[in-house]
Amino acid sequence: MLDEPSADRPYVAYAIGRVVGPAVIRNRVRRRLRVLVGRHAAQLRPGYYLIGVRPGGAARSFEELNDMVVRLLNRIAQDS
């Protein structure tokens, strides 16, 4: 997280490289993450966030991704 004083809300970007899979797979993972982060966006402080996906991320179910996003957001909240 980049704590930027001028940020008025959380901005989230996704780094999903070609090693994860073809464009169809990478876009599916990105869409799922957007939905999941949107559900839990109230937990995020204003600032800039970058979420990276490793190759195994494409094989995760929606529920598994949800659990991972919740754990990630909890870690971010604890570190702030």
Contacts 24+ apart (CB under 8 A), 23-32: 25/58, 26/53, 26/58, 28/58, 29/53, 29/57, 29/58, 29/65, 32/62, 32/65
pLDDT band at 25 (very low <50, low <70, confident <90, very high): very high
Answer yes or no: is pLDDT of 75 > 80.
Answer: yes
* Domain ranges within the chain, ordered by starting residue: 10-79
Q: Which pLDDT tens digit goes with each residue over 6-23?
A: 778 889 999 999 999 999
* Distance of alpha carbon 12 from alpha carbon 50, whole angstroms: 6
Domain 10-79, CATH class in plain words: alpha beta
* Distance of alpha carbon 6 from alpha carbon 58, whole angstroms: 34
pTM of the model: 0.84
